[in-house]
A and B are shown apart, each in its own frame.
Chain A
Amino acid sequence: MSSYRLPKRGLVDRDAPLSFTFDGRPMQGLEGDTLASALLANGRMLVGRSFKYHRPRGILTAGAAEPNALVTVGRGGRAEPNTRATMQELYDGLEARSQNRWPSLDVDIGALNGLLSPFLGAGFYYKTFMWPAPLWEKLYEPVIRRAAGLGKASYETDPDAYEKSWAHCDLLVIGAGPTGLAAALTAGRAGARVILVDEGSLPGGSLLSDTATIDGKAAADFARDTSDELRSMPNVRVLMRTTAFGWYDGNVFGAVERVQKHVREPASHLPVERLWRIVAGKALLATGAEERPLVFGGNDRPGVMMAGAMRAYLNRYGVAPGRASAIFTTNDTGYTLAQDLEAAGVDVVAIVDSRPAAGIDYRGRARLVREAVVCGTKGGKAISAIEVLHGGRTETIAVDSLAMAGGFDPIIHLACHRGGKPVWSAEKAAFLAPGSLKGLEAAGGAAATTGLAACLGEGAARAEAIVRGLGLSCPPVALAKVESDEGIHSPAPLWSIPGVKDKAFVDFQNDVHLKDIGLAVREGYSHVELAKRYTTSGMATDQGKLSNVNAIGLIAKARGVSPAEVGTTTFRPFYTPVSFGALTGAHTGHHFQPVRKSPLHDWAKKHGAVFVETGLWYRSSWFPLSGERTWRESVEREVLNVRKNAGLCDVSMLGKIEISGSDAAEFLNRVYCNAFLKLPVGKARYGLMLREDGFIYDDGTTSRLEENRFFMTTTTAYAAGVMNHLEFCQQVLWPELDVRLASITDQWAQMAIAGPKARMILQKIVDEDISDAAFPYLAAKEVSLFSGAIHGCLFRISFSGELAYELAVPAGYGESVADALLEAGKDHGIMPYGVETLSVLRIEKGHVTHNEINGTVVPADLGFGKMVSASKPDFVGKAMLQREGLTAPDRPQLVGVVPLDPQQSFRSGSHILAKGAAATLENDEGYVTSSAHSPHVGSTVALALVKNGRNRHGEEVLVWSGLHGQSTPARLCNPVFFDPQNERLHV
C-alpha cells in the first residue's frame, strides 16, 4: 500500500484544496502542505532517482536535510532545480519535475548503473578511466557527468527580483521551536530587541508535530499563540521562511528569507528572496536536532523514512505512511511514533528495538522485537517487507513503510563557521557545539537537551541570562506545564548493523554506502577529510546533514577509535543552498553598478553625444553630425575644428581636490616629485606624483589659488586613489603638517575650451581680462562670469597643444554655461568634442596618460627626468627612484612612432622589433602605448615605450601584432608630432 491522506488530523486546511502537477500528472494537495506531504498524500512514494546508481528514492525527511526528494520546481527562468520537496510549500498551480532520470522516473535507463555497481565504488573514476588519457576529457568525464547528477539550471533569465537587507538586534534567536520561542518570548517581554528566524512557514518547529500539551493547550496552539504575542511586540521581529545560513565575524549572521517562493505569481513590488545580514549582540542557536538514520541494507527504498518525519507527516500534515508500518529504533521516540500511528488508525506491524528494554511503557498493539535490528528491506519502487535479525535468525515481515530512529545529532552547523570544531560527547553520543563561543550559544535540542519541558525551560533561562547581561531587567517567565512529554535518554549509537547484504546507504544523496567507507579506510583514506573526498560522503546540496555522523562513527569503528578522535570535516557556510539571485540582490541590470553622471551629461546628450563607460562615469566619446557615417569621420572633424577654430570638451570627471592649510605648499612639495613650494599664487603647474617605489602614480595640474589654498586635478581613473593617498600622507606620514583635504570633484562642472579662438569666445562670458598679458599660459584664478552672476575658476592649461583653458563652474550651472559658450562661439565655429578627439589631440602633442603611466615607468622614461627635483630634501618615491634598475640605460623610453607608408596603420599594444629581427620574446623592444590617426600628420601616429628610445629617433623598426597578424615597417621619432616649439600655447 502507498501513503495516503487521513480523513482528519493535522494543521492542513481541508477546505483549501490546491492543484499541482508532478512530472505532468495532475494532483491535489491542501493549503498547509509541503510538496512532499502532498506527494505522499497522493500515494506518490517514488519521487527521485539516486545520484550514481539511479536507485528509486522516496521522501526520507520532513525538513531541510532531505537528500532524496529533490525536484525541479517552476518553468522557464523561474525553474529551480534541486528544490527539496520537504521544504517547498505547496501552492495552487505548482509544477514539479523529478530529476536525474531518463526517459521517466518510473522507467529509468540509468538504473542499469546498479548492475555495474561492483565497478562503481568510491573513487572508481580515479582507477578505472586512466587510459588512454585523452579519452578522459573527451569521453569518460562527459559520460559520467551525464549519467550522474542532480537537476539542471535554466539558461533563461530569472524574471524575479531579489534584495539584501541589514538588521540589528540584541538577541538573534535561530529556530522557532520550543527552545527558540521560549527564548524570544523571555527576551521580548524584557524589552530587548529580538529577531527570531525560522526556516519553516509556521513557527513551532517540533511543536507542530508533537502531541503533548503545554499549559493545557495543544503544542501547535501554544506555538501559534506565542508567535502571535511575539509579533505584537514592537521590539521583536519574526522572520519566517528564513534560514540562517552562516555565522561571520562581528557576530553577523547571513540569512535568506524566501519571501515569495510559496506563491504562483510573485508580486512585482516584492523580492522572491531577501538576503539578510543580521548584526546580533548575542545569538541563541535553537536549531534543534537532526534525527540520525540507521545504516541497514536497502535503507533507501521508498517507504523508509526517518521516524520524526513520519510523525510530522502524520500529525502536522495528516498523511499516513501506509497501512502496515514497522519502526526500527534505538531509543524511545520509536514508541511515541507507534502510539501516534495507532491513534491515527495505522497498523504498526512491529517495533524493532536494538536495545534489550525500552525506557517507555508502551501499551500499544505492535509486536515488540527487542535486541533486534532491521538488516534489510525488500521491494521494488517501494518497500514491501523488512528483514529482521534477532536471536541469530532472520525473519521477513511484510510492511509498506518503515520508520528509522537512530538517535539525534544537534544541529550545530552555524556554531562551527568561525573556526570552532564540534566536540564529541560520549555521554550524549553526539557532537556538540564548541565551548565558549563569543556571541553565540546553543540551547535546547541544539545542545542535546531532550524533552519538551526541558527545552522550554532552557530557552527561557538562556534568554534571561543574556537579557540581564545587556543590563535589562527581566521579569520571570512562568515555566510552562507540559503533559505527555517524551523524555529521551541518550541512546548508545548504532553505527553498524549485522547481517547487511544489500547496499546500506550512509550518504543517500551521493550514493555512498557502507562498503565505500570501508574501502576508503582500507585504502588509507581514513582521515575524515580524506574519506569525505574519496567517497564523496557529505558533499552536494545536503552537505551530509544525515550522513556525516554515521560516516564518522563507521570510520571510528573501522579504526577502533572514538568518534572524538576521528573528528568532523570542516563546517562552512552555507548551511543550506543559497541562490545566486539572493547573493546578487538588487544589483542586476540597471542597478548592477552605480552610474556616475557628469553635470554636463544632459548637455552632451542633447548634442547627440555617443557615450562610453569609463569606470562608473559616462563620458561623451564623440558628437556625430548628420551625414557622418563613421566615428572616425566625426572625430577627425572635431580634431580639425579644434586646431582651426575651437572646441568644448567636458572634463568634469577629472578628480579635483582642494588642499588648504598653512602647510599645504609643503605638503604638495612632498607629494609631488617636482617643486611646488614656491609656485606663485595665480599659477598652475603640471605635477608628477610617484609611488614609494619610485614609479609614477598619477599626474595632473595643481593651481595655487591663494597662499594656502590649492586646486589639484587628478586623472579620472585615479581620483579616488589619489585622495586616499593624500589622506594617508596627511594622517600617517606627516600628521604634524597643517593640511586639509576636500574632494571637490562633484562641485565643479569643468570644461576645456581649446583652439585658436578659445580666448575670444571665453572672454564673452568671463568678466575679467583674459588677454595673454593679463592671463598668460599656466595662469589660474577665480573669475566671475556673466557680470558677476556666478563665479568659477579658470585655468590656462592645455592638453591639446592649442591655446586652451579649463573653466570650472558650480556644477548646477554647468549645462547653462556650456550652452552659453556654444552660443558665444557660434560665429567662431565652436563645436563640442569628446574624449576620442581629446585623445587624438594629446597623442599628436605627445602628452601622456595612464596608457603610458602604466605603473612601470619612472619620470625619466617619459622625458620628465629634469622635472624631478634634485634639491628637495624628500618627496614620496625619492629614495627608491635611485635604484639601479630605475636608472638603467635600456629602460623603456617614450618615443613617437609613424608608419613608413602613411597608408599603413598599426594598433596600440603592438610590439616594437628591431628591423629584421624575428618576433621572439628576446627581441621585444617595447610596445605601442597609444595610437590614433592624425589628421595633422596624415597617417597613424603613436606613442611607444621602447628600450633606449630617446636615442633611437629615426630608426626603422617593425611594429608587430601577433594577435592581429600585422607587421608594419615604421620609424621611431620625437613623440611630439604637433607644434614642438609650443608656440600655439602662448598666443
Chain B
Amino acid sequence: MSEFRPILRPALGSKQTVASADFRLSPLPEGTIIHVLARPGQEDIAPLLGRFTDAAPHALRPVSPDQWFIISDAPIPHPEMKSLFAALGPRATGVDQSHGRVRIRIEGKMARRALSKGTALDLDPSAFPIGQSAVTLIGHIAAHVTCVGADTFEIIVLRGFAESLWDDLARMGLEFG
C-alpha cells in the first residue's frame, strides 16, 4: 500500500466557527505542539527555547515548573522533529503532542465572561496579561489557557475531550451570540 496516503482528520473537523460581534469560538489548525520537559535541576532554559519556535508571538508557553509547550500553526516534518528533540538534549526532552492536544481560540469582548463560566482563573488583564498561561479546569475538563491578545485566548485541551469542551464553550457563549 505504498501509494496510500493517510488522511489527517482534525478532532474538531466537524465544528463550525461560532461568531458574533462580541464572541467568537474557532478551532485552530492542528499544527505542532511540542511538550518540553527540562532535566530536573536544570537552569531555566526558557530563554534557549525561543530559538526552537517559529518566532510567532506566544509560540512558547509555560505549562508547569520546567515544562513548556512549543506551538506552531504548521506541522513539523518528522525528521525536523527528531532533530529538534536531539537539539534539546540533554537539557530537556521533547515530546510530540501535536495530535494529543487540540487548540481552540476564544475571542471577543465577551470572551472573558464566557470563559469565567468554566474557569476559576481571574482573566482580568491586570491579573492575566497578554502572554500569561495557566493550567485550569474549564467545567470538568482540564485545559491550558493562554492570553494571546487583548480579548483573545487560546485553549489547549486533550484531544479526547476537545469535542466536549467545544460544546461546553459554545454553550458558555450562547448568551453573547
Residues on A lying within 8 angstroms of B by beta carbon are: 163-168, 193, 269-270, 277, 279, 586-587, 590-591, 593-599, 602, 617, 653, 658, 660-662, 709, 735, 737-748, 764-765, 785-791, 809-817, 820, 823-824
Whether the Cβ atoms of B2 and A599 lie closer than 8 Å is: no
| A813 CB → nearest B CB, Å | 4
Q: Give the nearest-CB partner of A592 in chain B.
A: B140
Residues 125 to 177 of chain B near chain A (Cβ within 8 Å): 126-127, 139-141, 158-161, 163-165, 167-168, 171-172, 174-175, 177
Residues of B within 8 A of A598 (CB): 160
Find out whether the CB atom of A812 lies under 8 angstroms from the CB atom of B9: yes
Question: Which residue of chain A is the closest to B5 with respect to CB atoms?
Answer: A789
B139→A738 contact, CB < 8 A: no
The residue on A at minimum CB distance from B98 is A810
Please report the C-alpha to C-alpha distance between residue A647 and residue B140 in the assembled complex, in whole angstroms.
35
Q: Please determine whether B6 and A746 come into contact, CB atoms closer than 8 angstroms.
A: no
Cβ distance A248 to chain B, nearest Cβ, rounded Å:
12
Indicate if B39 sits at the interface (CB-CB under 8 A): yes
Chain B residues in 8 Å Cβ range of A737: 40
What are the residues of chain A within 8 A of B6 when measuring CB–CB?
A: 785-786, 789-790, 809, 813, 816-817, 820
Q: Is the CB of A786 within 8 A of B4?
A: yes
Question: For chain B residues 1-58, which have a beta carbon within 8 Å of chain A?
Answer: 1-2, 4-11, 30, 35, 37-40
Q: Contacting B30 at CB < 8 Å: which of A653, A743, A745, A812?
A: A812
B158 surroundings in chain A (CB, below 8 A): 596, 745-746
Extra contacts, 9 of them, besides A660-B37, A738-B39 (Cβ < 8 A), are A166-B120, A167-B116, A168-B127, A660-B93, A746-B159, A765-B1, A789-B5, A810-B98, A816-B6
Q: A786 contacts which of B1, B113, B120 (Cβ < 8 Å)? A: B1
Question: Is there contact, CB below 8 Å, between A815 and B140?
Answer: no
Q: Contact between B39 and A820 (Cβ–Cβ < 8 Å)?
A: no
B73 at the interface (CB under 8 A from A): no
Pair count A-B, CB < 8 A = 160
Let me know if B11 and A765 touch, CB within 8 A: no
Alpha-carbon distance A778/B174, docked complex (angstroms)? 51
Does residue B80 face the partner (Cβ distance < 8 Å to A)?
no
Q: How far is the CB of A917 from chain B (nearest CB, A)?
A: 48
18 of the cross-chain contacts (CB-CB < 8 Å) are A166-B119, A593-B140, A594-B140, A594-B141, A595-B164, A597-B164, A617-B160, A660-B93, A660-B95, A661-B40, A662-B39, A740-B37, A765-B1, A787-B2, A811-B11, A811-B159, A816-B7, A816-B8
Instruction: Tell me the nearest residue of chain A to B37, going by C-beta.
Output: A740
Measured between C-beta atoms, what is the minimum distance from A452 to chain B in Å? Answer: 34
A509 vs chain B, min Cβ distance (A): 35
- Considering the complex of A and B, which 9 residue pairs feature the smallest CB-CB distances, nearest first? A747-B100, A740-B37, A746-B100, A811-B99, A168-B122, A816-B6, A594-B164, A596-B160, A810-B99
* Contacts known (A168-B122, A748-B100); A587 close to B140, Cβ less than 8 A: yes
B161 touches A594 (CB 8 A): yes
Contact A586 B97 (CB under 8 A): no
Of the residues A270, A742, A743, A814, contact of B175 by C-beta under 8 Å = A270
Q: Which of B10, B126, B160 is close to A597, meaning CB atoms less than 8 Å apart?
A: B160
Chain B residue numbers with a CB within 8 Å of A764 are 1
Determine the main DSSP class of B at the interface with A.
Answer: loop
Max count, chain B CB within 10 A of own CB: residue among A742, A764, A815, A816? A742
Query: For the complex, would chain A's binding face be called helix, strand, loop or mixed by DSSP majority?
Result: mixed
Of the candidates A163, A593, A594, A747, the one whose C-beta lies within 8 Å of that of B99 is: A747
* Structural contact, B99 and A166, CB atoms closer than 8 A: no
For the complex, what is the distance from the CA of A740 to the CA of B91, rounded to whole Å?
11
Partner of A820, one of B1, B78, B97: B1
- A618 to chain B: closest residue by CB: B160
Chain B residues positioned under 8 Å from A591 (CB to CB): 139, 167-168, 171
Q: In the complex the two chains form, is A791's CB within 8 Å of B78's CB?
A: yes
Cα distance A269–B140 in the bound complex, in angstroms: 21
Q: Give the docked Cα–Cα distance between A746 and B156 (Å).
A: 12
Question: Within 8 Å CB of A790, what residues of B?
Answer: 6, 78
**Which residues in A have their C-beta under 8 angstroms from that of B159?**
599, 746-747, 811
- Residue in A closest to B158 when the chains form the complex, CB atoms: A746
Contact A812 B1 (CB under 8 A): no
Q: What is the chain A residue whose CB lies nearest that of B65?
A: A731
Shortest Cβ distance from residue A982 to the other chain B in the assembled complex, whole angstroms? 31
Contact at B117–A164, with CB atoms within 8 Å? Answer: yes
In the bound complex, CA of A811 to CA of B6 (Å): 12
Q: What is the bound-complex CA distance between A114 and B64, given in angstroms? A: 68
Contact of A279 among B4, B10, B122 (CB under 8 A): B122
| Residues 55-111 of B contacting A (Cβ, < 8 Å) | 78, 90, 93, 95-101
A812 and B161 within 8 A (CB)? no
Decide: B139 and A594 in contact? CB cutoff 8 A.
yes
User: Which residues of chain B come closer than 8 Å to A747, judged between CB atoms?
Assistant: 95-100, 159
- Contacts of A810 on B, CB cut-off 8 Å? 96, 98-99
Chain A nearest CB from B152 CB (Å) reads 19
A594 to B44, CA, bound (A): 36
Q: Determine the residue in chain B with the shortest Cβ distance to A709.
A: B93
Asked whether A812 lies within 8 Å of B99 as measured between CB atoms, the reply is yes
Decide if B78 touches A746 in the complex (CB within 8 Å): no
Q: Which of B8, B126, B127, B172 contacts A813 (CB 8 A)?
A: B8
Q: A595–B9 contact, CB under 8 A? A: no
- Contact (A786, B39) CB under 8 Å given A591-B168, A594-B161, A597-B160: no
Q: CA–CA, A597 to B12, complex, Å?
A: 12
A739, B41: Cα distance in complex, Å: 11
Residues of chain A lying within 8 A (CB to CB) of residue B127:
168
- Report the nearest A residue to B38, measured CB to CB: A740
From known contacts A165-B117, A598-B160, infer whether A740 and B2 are also in contact, taking CB-CB under 8 Å: no
Assembly CA distance A279 to B175 (angstroms): 23
Q: Which residues of A contact B38 (CB under 8 A)?
A: 740
Selected contact of A816 from candidates B9, B78, B117, B160, CB within 8 Å: B9
Residue of B with least CB distance to A809: B6
Chain A residues whose CB sits within 8 angstroms of the CB of B177 once the complex forms: 269
Closest to B39 in A: A738
CB distance from B30 to the nearest CB of A (A): 6
Which chain B residues border A617 with CB–CB below 8 Å?
160
Asked whether B8 lies within 8 Å of A662 as measured between CB atoms, the reply is: no
**In the bound complex, CA of A737 to CA of B116 (Å):** 39
State the CA gap A404–B5 with chains docked (Å). Answer: 85
Smallest distance from the beta carbon of B158 to chain A beta carbons, Å? 5
Residues of B contacting A166 with CB < 8 Å? 116-117, 119-121
Q: Return A788 CB to nearest CB of chain B, in Å.
A: 8
Of the candidates A164, A594, A661, A791, the one having the most CB atoms from chain B within 10 angstroms of its own CB is: A594
Do residues A748 and B39 form an inter-chain contact, with CB atoms below 8 A?
Answer: no
C-alpha gap A215/B160 in the complex (Å): 61
- CB contacts (< 8 Å) of B30 on chain A: these are 812
Shortest beta-carbon distance, A145 to chain B, in Å?
Answer: 37
Of A594, A745, A812, which one neighbours B10 at CB under 8 angstroms?
A: A812
CA distance A100 to B4 in the complex (A): 74
Given A270-B175, A816-B6; A744-B100 close (CB under 8 Å): yes
- CB contact between A661 and one of B4, B8, B93, B175 (< 8 Å): that residue: B93
Report the minimum CB–CB distance from A170 to chain B (whole Å).
10
CA distance A166 to B137 in the complex (A): 12
Q: Which residues of A have CB within 8 Å of B98?
A: 747, 810
Name the B residues within 8 Å of A789 (CB-CB): 4-6
- The reply to whether A602 and B9 form a contact with Cβ atoms under 8 Å apart is yes
For B42, the closest partner residue in chain A by CB is A738
Cβ B40 vs Cβ A738 within 8 A: yes
Chain B residues with CB below 8 A from A823, complex form: 1
**A740 in contact with B78 (CB, 8 Å):** no
**B75 → A minimal CB distance (Å):** 10
